[in-house]
Amino acid sequence: MSAKKNHTPEELAEALVFPVALTPAQQKEAAKQLAAARKKTRQEITDNDKLALQLLQLKFQLEDYIENKEYDPEKHFGYFLKKYIEILQVKRKVFADDISIDETLLSQLINKHRTPPDHISIRLELHSNNIIPADYWFKLVEKQREHRIKTDRGLRKKERKFVHKLAVSL
């Protein structure tokens, strides 16, 4: 239905919000008030809330990357794990203790020297208090594996010797 059929021209005119032109002094005062309100809001946010917001931001970055079809070799499991630890602002040894792994394993995961076992994804989910789901960490590893399987010609060449007969000749 059209707004004209339900309302009189006077009602429509009253409902419209017309932009108000502010003088430079009024604009300055409005900006000052907005800055003060933002500052007050920032001061009221607890450290725990800030941490939760940063973890949510990381979660959304992970989500965006996982859903993106493009593979970025820089954005591997270790890259996001390192960002996670940086957000927590703890030493790696403390973090490794928190999730009951050796600091050496943590270093290997961060530096892409080792593929994380499934239980690491679950521990990270639990550690983040379920903010970052285990399947996000798992999908990150799978995206890396998928890229390797699609692009590693040496792997195909190596595995070819184990295939003795093709199912179909083309």
pLDDT in tens, 155-167: 999 999 999 988 8
pLDDT in tens, 113-161: 999 999 999 999 999 999 999 999 999 999 999 999 999 999 999 999 9
Q: Could you give the domains of the chain?
A: 47-152 (1.10.260.40)
pLDDT in tens, 52-85: 999 999 999 999 999 998 999 999 999 999 999 9
Whether the Cβ atoms of residue 71 and residue 147 lie closer than 8 Å to each other: yes
Q: What is the largest CA-CA distance in the chain?
A: 85
Q: List the one residue out of 130, 103, 133, 106 whose CA is nearest residue 117.
A: 106
- The pLDDT, as a whole number, for residue 19 is 64
What is the dihedral sign for C-alpha 162, 164, 167, 170? positive
Q: List the one residue out of 120, 45, 39, 33 whose CA is nearest residue 84.
A: 120
Residue with tokens 């960490």: 137
